[in-house]
Every structure is written in structure tokens, then in C-alpha cells.
Amino acid sequence: MTAAIEPATLDTRQRAELIYAAARAPLDQGLWRAALGTGASRSPRPGERTASAAMTLPSLLATLSHGQMVGATFAPPTPPFAGHAAHDPSPRDDGAGDRHPRNGAGGLGANATYAGAIDAAAKRTGLTAPLLTAIIGAEAARDPDGRWRPLSRNPHSSAAGLGQFLTGTWLGEAQRKGTWLHELARVRHWLDPQDRVLPEARAALLALRYDGEASIHAVADYAQHNLAAIRRAGIAVGHGLRDVTQIAYLGHHLGAADAIHFLSGQIAPERARRLLQAQVGVAAAARKIATAGDSILAHRQWLTAYVARAVRAVEIIAQ
């Protein structure tokens, strides 16, 4: 379990990172949306609402000066929640495979402090700890010793925390019934009768992206949701741990809609070009497209290699 974020414990570099991210967020999000031509940011997700940064620079400075991160200290809700099947420890078609029916979050090294939260999120959602660890390991910023940085913020978008959740995605997970975040938001009275986040609760809710435990549970719920959507679209997810993990991370990276289009070969050339530009830059994208011969193939080659690298350690984690 991750301790609540206490600004008094942050070093100078960590405080500077938070302040810098808050100052740059409005400009960066506008530039990113302009580059993509959609409301997406770091990991583009079609149809996702754009939103302002969780905390403005003045509010962040006020929070730090008072020595308490607003909304970061909370009592986690007690699972299971409605919408989640009870955990079945037998082998199943969710990435556990026949070889690893009871995998825990082993092989974390410097990140062993997160093992309890990962195991709890895996048990609650029926996914495997190695699958969740692979997604977090691919998304989270790291210190030189390999330790994940829960306070990280992408300078080019609103993505933040261990799971690098965009503002809109995080709010959406809080509003989606059955998720860990939804239950927490309900208990905290952060939702209106229609399950929409109250304006006055946005900052406190979004600050939870910097809490490791909250981010881990959100990664699990989002992975479960994306895998279900991809399966409903008639796309085979597979049975092996590595195969399912790659599909789950593809869903986390692109969002379910674009992941389905990618897997079914239905991404339009201009969309593929913009997605590639958003990830590698305009110049590098142009070179890759020229080498591949078209934008769809260039994006597919890059993303396939990227996902493979992102989850390459999943089999080691599972041992």
C-alpha cells in the first residue's frame, strides 16, 4: 500500500516537478490536441472529454504551502464492488494461463512496496498481478534505481501518476459504475445523483492519480474494461499471459476504441499518421512512413515493437 502524498516529505526536485507540470499543463494540452486534431493527449483515446488540469498553479502552490495534498489521504473502499466477479483462483482466460493460476506480484525489486496493492487489484478484478505489473512498469516514470515515481507527470499532456492516466480517463473511471474509483467517489460524496463528478470535487479526485494504490486499482479496472470491450468486438485476445498482457497494454495505451481499430486493421491513414506523430514527433514519423511506404504500416510497425518492448519482462515477472 502506498502512503498518502504529504508535501512536507517531498524533496526540492519533486516539488519543482509538480509546480512545473501545473504551470505547463494548459499550454501542453492545447498543443497536443492541435497536433492530433482530436481531444486526445498522451495515449489518444477517441471520444474522451478534454478537461483542464487537475490543479491550477496557484492552487497547487497553496496546497504545498499548507503541507497537505488535497484529497490524497483516504480510506480505501472494501471490495468486492458490484460489477466485479468474485476471484476464481483456478486457471482462466484472462492472462493467467495454465502455468500461472495463482501468480502474485513477484519480481518487483525496488517496487516491492506496491506488491500488496497489485495483488489486491488483481484478486478483485480477476486479472493477474504480472499483467498489471507489466502495464504499470511500461507507463510509470522511474528513478535511477528503477523505483516507480508516483508523482510523475507527462510534460506533454495531462497524464499523471503510476498509470499515466489522462484527466478525462481518470474522471471517466470514477464515473463508471463498478470501479474502485467510483466506489471511493461515491463514499466521499464526490458524485452527483447521475454519477457525474461534482465540480468542487475534481481537484481532490484528480490528485489521487499521484497515490500509488489508487493508480494501481484504476489500472486494473481500466484493463478489465478494455479487454472486455475488445472481446465484445469479436477480437481474439488469446490465452497466454504474454498475449493477453500485450492486448491489455495496447488498450491502456490507445483506449478501447482505437485498440479495436488497430487490431482489426481499420485505422484510417490520416489517423495512423497523427497517432504516430503524437508518439515519435513529426520528423521521425515522416521518416518511418517513408521507410514503410504508408502511414498505417509505419504506425503498426512502431506500435507493435513498442508494446512488445513494454511487456517484454512479463514472463520473468510471472516466474
Tell me whether residue 106 is in a domain.
yes
Tell me whether residue 96 is in a domain.
yes
Distance CA 29, CA 187 (A): 31
At 310, the pLDDT band (50, 70, 90 cuts) reads: confident
Lowest-pLDDT choice from 47-56, 60-69, 85-94:
85-94
Q: Are 20 and 151 in contact (CB under 8 A)?
A: no
Tell me whether residue 187 is in a domain.
yes
Q: Which of 110, 85, 88, 136 is nearest to 245 (CA)?
A: 136
**Segments forming the whole domain that contains residue 136:** 7-318
Tell me whether residue 206 is in a domain.
yes
Collapsed DSSP state (helix, strand, coil) of residue 46: coil
The pLDDT assigned to 18 comes to 55
Q: What's the whole-number mean pLDDT along residues 89-99?
A: 34
DSSP state letter for 153: B
Highest mean pLDDT among 64-68, 78-82, 181-185: 181-185
Query: Model-level pTM?
Result: 0.67
Tell me whether residue 274 is in a domain.
yes
Q: Which three cell numbers stand for residue 163?
A: 498509470
Look at residue 59 and tell me whether its pLDDT is greater than 50: no
Lowest-pLDDT choice from 52-56, 126-130, 172-176:
52-56
Which CATH number is 45's domain given? Answer: 1.10.530.10
Tell me whether residue 1 is in a domain.
no
**Number of domains into which the chain is organized:** 1
Q: Are 227 and 237 in contact (CB under 8 A)?
A: yes
Look at residue 126 and tell me whether its pLDDT is greater than 90: yes
pLDDT (tens digit per residue) in 68-83: 333 333 333 333 222 2
How many residues would you count in the chain? 319
At 195, the pLDDT band (50, 70, 90 cuts) reads: very high
Tell me whether residue 155 is in a domain.
yes
Tell me whether residue 2 is in a domain.
no
pLDDT (tens digit per residue) in 215-265: 999 999 999 999 999 999 999 988 888 889 999 999 998 899 999 999 998
The pLDDT assigned to 177 comes to 96
Q: Taking all residues of the chain, what is their mean pLDDT, rounded to a whole number?
A: 74
Percent of the chain exceeding pLDDT 70 equals 64
